[in-house]
Structure 1
Amino acid sequence: MRFLTTSFGIATLCLTSVVANGPSFKPFFRPPFNFPKNPENKETCTLKASGGDDAPRFLKAVQECTTVTVPASTTLSIQTRMNMTGLRDKHIQLEGTLKFTDNIPYWSGNGFFIPFQTQITFWLLGGTNILFDGGGTLDGSGQLWWDTFASNSSLLRPITLTIFEAENVLVENIHMLNSPEWNNLVNEGKNVVYNNINIHAVSNSSHNAANTDGWNVYRSDNIQILNSVIVNGDDCVAFKPNATNVLVENLNCTGSHGISVGSLGQFPGMFDIVENVLAKNVRMTNAQNGARIKAWAGPNVGSGIVKNITFENFIEAAVDNPIIIDQCYMTNATACAQFPSNTLIQDIWFNNITGTGTKAVVASLSCSPDGRCSDINVNDISLSFPKGSASFTCQNLNVTGDAASLFPTCALT
Structure 2
Amino acid sequence: MGLGKIKRELLRVLSKEVALGATCFAFVVLMLRLLCSDVVAVKSEVVDVLDFGAVGDGTVDSSEAFLKAWDLVCSREIENGVRIMLVPENQTFLLHPVTFNGPCKAKEIKFLIMGRIISPISPKTWEGLDQGKWLMFRGVSGLKIKGGGEINGRGWGWWNQSCRYHPHLEGCTSLAPTAMIFESCKTSSLSQVRLVNSSQTHTHVLISGTNDFIVDDVVITAPETSPNTDGIHISSASNIFIRNSIIGTGDDCVSIGDHTTNIHISHVRCGPGHGISIGSLGRAGNFVQVRNIRVNTVSFKGTTNGARIKTWQVGKGYVRGVTFENLFFDSVKNPIIIDQNYCNVRGACRELETGVKVRDVVYKNLQGTSSTEVAITLNCSRSVSCTGLLLQSVLLKSSVTGKNVSSTCINAHGAAIGVVQPAPCFQDFDH
TM-score, normalization by structure 1: 0.82
How far does residue 369 in structure 1 lie from its aligned partner after superposition? 1.8
Q: 2:361 aligns with which of 348, 365, 379?
A: 348
Q: 2:85 aligns with which of 42, 46, 68?
A: 68
| C-alpha distance in 2 between matches for 1:190 and 1:71 | 30
Using a 3 Å threshold, how does the CA distance of structure 1 residues 363 and 333 change in structure 2: closer, same or farther? farther
Instruction: Note the 1:186-335 alignment, pairs <5 A.
Output: 186-187=205-206, 188=208, 189-202=210-223, 208-268=225-285, 270-297=286-313, 301-330=314-343, 332=347, 335=350
1:407 aligned onto 2:424? yes
| C-alpha distance in 1 between matches for 2:280 and 2:161 | 26
How far does residue 392 in structure 1 lie from its aligned partner after superposition? 1.1
Query: RMSD of the alignment, in Å?
Result: 2.4
Q: Say which is worse superposed, 91-100 or 378-387, in terms of deviation.
A: 378-387
Give the structure with higher Rg (CA). 2
Question: Does the Cα contact within 8 Å between 2:378 and 2:410 map onto a contact in 1?
Answer: yes
Q: Secondary structure at the match of 1:98?
A: strand
| C-alpha distance in 2 between matches for 1:256 and 1:101 | 25
Q: Secondary structure at the match of 1:401?
A: strand
Question: Does the Cα contact within 8 Å between 1:296 and 1:341 map onto a contact in 2?
Answer: no
Give 1:181's aligned amino acid: Q
How far does residue 107 in structure 1 lie from its aligned partner after superposition? 1.9
Residues 271-298 of structure 1 deviation map (CA, whole Å, 9 limit, x = unaligned): 111110101111101110000001111x
Q: 2:128 aligns with which of 105, 109, 123?
A: 109
Using a 3 Å threshold, how does the CA distance of structure 1 residues 43 and 409 change in structure 2: closer, same or farther? closer
Question: Does the Cα contact within 8 Å between 1:263 and 1:295 map onto a contact in 2?
Answer: yes
1:359 aligned onto 2:380? no
| C-alpha distance in 1 between matches for 2:234 and 2:92 | 29
Question: Does the Cα contact within 8 Å between 1:85 and 1:124 map onto a contact in 2?
Answer: no
Q: Secondary structure at the match of 2:61?
A: coil
Using a 3 Å threshold, how does the CA distance of structure 1 residues 332 and 351 change in structure 2: closer, same or farther? same
- Which residue pairs with 1:44 in the alignment? 46
1:148 aligned onto 2:161? yes
How far does residue 81 in structure 1 lie from its aligned partner after superposition? 2.5
- What runs of 5+ residues in structure 1 fail to find an aligned partner? 1-31, 114-119
How far does residue 102 in structure 1 lie from its aligned partner after superposition? 1.4
How far does residue 165 in structure 1 lie from its aligned partner after superposition? 1.2
Question: Does the Cα contact within 8 Å between 2:97 and 2:133 map onto a contact in 1?
Answer: no
- What runs of 5+ residues in structure 2 fail to find an aligned partner? 1-37, 74-82
Residues 43-102 of structure 1 deviation map (CA, whole Å, 9 limit, x = unaligned): 211123425211111122122122111111111110242343433521100000111111
Give 2:301's aligned amino acid: T
Give 2:49's aligned amino acid: L
Using a 3 Å threshold, how does the CA distance of structure 1 residues 73 and 404 change in structure 2: closer, same or farther? closer
Residues 358-386 of structure 1 deviation map (CA, whole Å, 9 limit, x = unaligned): 11100111111245311001111111113
1:164 aligned onto 2:183? yes
| C-alpha distance in 1 between matches for 2:134 and 2:188 | 19
Question: Does the Cα contact within 8 Å between 2:96 and 2:134 map onto a contact in 1?
Answer: no
| C-alpha distance in 2 between matches for 1:409 and 1:279 | 23
| C-alpha distance in 1 between matches for 2:240 and 2:426 | 37
Q: Secondary structure at the match of 2:350?
A: helix
TM-score, normalization by structure 2: 0.78
- Count of aligned positions: 359
How far does residue 103 in structure 1 lie from its aligned partner after superposition? 2.5
- Which residue pairs with 2:63 in the alignment? 55
Q: 1:131 aligns with which of 138, 144, 156?
A: 144
How far does residue 174 in structure 1 lie from its aligned partner after superposition? 0.6
Q: Identify the structure with the greater strand proportion.
A: 1
| C-alpha distance in 2 between matches for 1:371 and 1:386 | 33
Residues 247-302 of structure 1 deviation map (CA, whole Å, 9 limit, x = unaligned): 0001101111111011111113x2111110101111101110000001111xxx23
